[in-house]
Structure 1
Amino acid sequence: MTVDERERLVRAAREGFLSGDRPDARLRPEIASSWRRSRLSRVAPSDDSVPYAPLLDGANRLLTAAATPVLDWLADQLTGGTAVILADADARILDRRADGRTLSRHLDTVLCVPGSQFGEEHIGTNGIGSVLEASGPVRIAGAEHYRDNLQGFTCVGTPLRHPVHRRLMGVLDVCCRYDDTNDLMTPLMLSAAREIESRMYAESSLRERMLLEEFLKASRRTSALVVTLNQDFLITTTAAATLLDPSDHALLWEWASDAMTRRGECAGDVRLHGGAVVSARARMVPDAGVLIELRGDRAGSPHRRPATSDPELPGRSAAWRRALAEVGAATRSGLDVLVTGEPGTGKTRVAARILPGATVFDAALAAVSPAWTAELQDALRRGPVILRHLDALPADLAPVVAALLGTSRVVATASDPAARLFDHFGARIELPPLRQRPEDLPDVAAALLRTPSPAPRLQPAALQALQAYGWPGNVRELGAVLASARLRAMGGDIGLAHLPAEHRRAASPSLPTLRRTERETILEALRDVRGNKLAAAERLGIARSTLYRKMRALGIEDTRFAPVRGK
């Protein structure tokens, strides 16, 4: 088949697919799969907008340091209207080198510029985002692109992986005008990718040698427990290894990174996930990581305390411990209980703890089952009942259910705090959302991954990303994300590359707990007033200029909320 015949076939297949047909069987499987993903993401073929995220100083330092000399060399070699593009693991363009003003103008026209996010979920099939989805080299030519405005290009992209732990670091993409397609693009790109990965290995080795040297110096001069670490690497003394688990790697890195943005050294108490509270002192190892000295917890023991997390209702944060204390009191009270909280927070599981073995009824089914109230009455005669989704109970059935309450003990759940019949319950418990207790995430994730056995571990970078995410779907959403990541990991530990794209993006920048709480408070105020900055500032009791400053500092995009005219 000639190039022209192939192009006509692809164009006809694309027209049919966009009209609702299945992908033509003669399409390459990777293109058909990418088109399906693009349609599921609701990418508009005629759209030409591209999300933009500013490049942060220091972000992707290892990748850009290793790639810059290679890009410099390629820029000198590029001929015939060819461009080379470097993107990070979120498909955000970090650098672009193009041969000739004509190609540069065409790339500018489609917003292929540093800071633009070329994720497949945003712009469909392309030589950057599709590489991340396929986790392997991809060639996209002409009409194989999902968007109309990209069909004038041919792109060949390959993933760039960390040479030690093989985490996906970014994408190297070579592109040209479709009419100028060169068969040498693929070998050029693969050779350059190997050189970048080789340079990352040398850079990583240097950083790790620097951390090791500082670790050995500190271990000789102090009796404290010594840890040196960065986002990817951890060295500990034997005593420190008995105190720390993988979750503490992310916790210590976050604590030290945040504290040392304000000064070169920092000290303070840190509560580890095992329950120990240790005195920590940290200092920066320039261009490599941090060194932390730990001394025994405030109770005097340098070893791990027994875990306090409930295996069935995991979590050890103050908010969650308070909720579990209320659960215990409600269980002993003998009263009817209403458990409220956002969808996915675990209300039914808590209800089952209060009334183990109780019959479960769902009020959401009352509207479609004529016999629902009669069946509820029979169940209450036999024993206790858990009544889910009380806020979904039809208004005309509320008096009937109210008359049945008191027949036997009932624990109800509702997402709406002002649920119907709430005044009929002697005890109420509100479960905190997952975003308000990020320190519980390691325990919750471990519980969700416990079955089927063997349970994979979460690598520190993946754990940091999960802790930084907002979790609108709470524990239920976390369970779905971990199940998907587990399949991608194929039996190995779950790394950042195994998470969905929107959850990988949460990894940077990482905010400590207090700043996350402040960020969530501002987001809630903005949501309540539909993006009206003046009204949000008044609600928060701050000046509008202060609100804008805090939004910038906390990474809240001004375009995230629907604009309000004149505000």
Structure 2
Amino acid sequence: MAKPPFSLEGYKVPGATDTEQGRPYDEGETNRAWENFLTFGDLRRENAPVRGVIEDSWQRSVKSGVNAHCKGSNLVASPDDLYELRLKNDDLLGSSAETFRRVAQVLGDAATMVVITDSNGVVLDVGGDQRTIDAGHDIRLEIGAAWGETVTGTNGIGTALVTGKPVHVHAAEHFSEGIKAWTCVGSPIRSPIDGRIIGIVDFSGPQAIFHRHNVALAVVAANHIELALSEKIRIERMQLLEASISRMPGMNSADGVVILDRFGRVVHHNDMASVRWRRIAQSQDLSIGTQLVPTSEGFLVKDLARGLPEELREQRIEPLVVDGVVKGAMLVLASRPRANPAVFQMSPTAHVAVMSAKEAIVGCSEALLQTVEKVERAALGRTAILLEGETGVGKELFARLVHAASQKTGKEPFVAFNCGAVSKELLGGELFGHAPGAFTGATREGRPGRFEFANGGVLSLDEIGELPLDLQPYLLRVLEERVVYRLGDSKPRPVDVRLVASTNRNLKQEVAEGRFRKDLYFRIGVVKFIIPPLRERTGDVEVLIDHFNRQFAATYSTEPLRFEATTMELLRRYSWPGNVRELRNLIENLVLMTLTGIVTPRDLPEDFREAAAQQLQARLPAEHGPTSGEGEIARFDEMERRAIERAVANAGGNIAAAAEKLGLSRATLYRKLHQYRSRT
């Protein structure tokens, strides 16, 4: 469905009277009316120049306890809450992107910012004039801030939510004193499915920008977003139906079929489903659009069966995959009872790219698996992602997972760039490209930057904290406007890039100390993950040792190493400050340097033994004395003794079983036990 061009000719704002639209505005009179209202609780004059919609909103603001002298929003969502909100409203954000671009063309250089909020008035995205966006930070008109009437009083966003109609609030008409220098126009965005308000599109700026046609422009913008949402839903519904057809062969013709979208809503069902539904779930509605499965993430999760109403959990449910991404599910109401409860399993051929990226992230710990699942979920959106973590935790692997999980054609580029790998002078040209001869060292013909190379795909910027302050506004501009300007060139080049930034720094602290822009931090950190260090990944050390041992053995055409129990216990207890990278390098060293094929503590590199001994010294009782030289080996022997005693105890005294568990012969185990007993 083609989107109609913007046109304001003959447009009248729905729900507003001619008197309301044409009523003259007098700032001085309106201010006096506001002061009287705060003093006496009413306008005190029948002919006070205040529109009815504004007076009603002032009354609600007072009842809500809003501070009339506040400077703007005082409620801002935490990064985690904002991540959930943006993920939940991903369709709204995606459908508004094109409207943002068109509105910017209509407004030209007007000092206006465009705001998209959720159904509670929380700002999800901003666009438009950068100077106005910067000024918006002063009143907290920024991503994550709440602008409902109960928070900030009368304003275009909150009042439009309450009235359900387009609203303009001009200067002194605002209830809160701190935002009376602004004017704003808000228009509700309604769901194409059930008509409920799902967000607000708002135009805001200084008083001078106000024109009555802005109200119509806001309504047109809201309508365009609704059209884009409707088209997206229609396309996804057709894709789900096509995906479900491929699963029909082999099904019993008496089975009922219910198709759910990724929000858990019913999009289709066959006639047999209606018959069986009345028998199985008499209290449940099966009409199109019914929210059958409650989801907060905005898509179906792996344990979908547990989200079904109790009476439906014995039914079969299968994922519906479109372009390699789970977009919905098929609930089969079997004609005969099933012996096993409903399960949600991925097709073995689905998600080839995703599975490949996930296989590169080795581990089985709960901390790691939860992070992988969350990153995979976040990849379904389009917002930037920030990965924080210590050096060596594998942040680029997670960036590649985002790329794999967000692919549609399988041909989208992935470009990785380390901001700390080039000098400050060359960094701008590497990121944004440069015109011919733009600076000393620039090429004669000019060249594109990493953003252009990544167009249509994912750009992974490692060590984002190394980006100099003077380049940060350029990065922010690219993310806000979705266009890049090469250095020395005024030509805008549109780019569609998903940014995945990563850092081993605490960017929040960098912001507090003035080394990183606050607005850029909020832009790249809407969705933020902390990759767990290896010391917090219980059980992963053994898994990674086995993985790298086999990998390097194959690389160097040798047999995998065997690790003595003492050595394995030492590696397990080590804190791994260099994380997975340190472990990987150690195993490669051992594969190359170990001569016997069995790794003992003495085979470990000297610097590693020293670091491990220092850690052990802090953990073991003080009576063992300092650790160095022979004392270090003695400490390893103590660890070996503990490992052997634990293995024998776990085997119930069965020496053969304990020896097999430890990777030792029975003779060796008997000898070591004899040595320990003779010492005591």
| TM-score, normalised by the number of residues in structure 2 | 0.40
Larger Rg, first or second structure (1 or 2) = 2
What is the TM-score when the length of structure 1 is the normalising length?
0.47
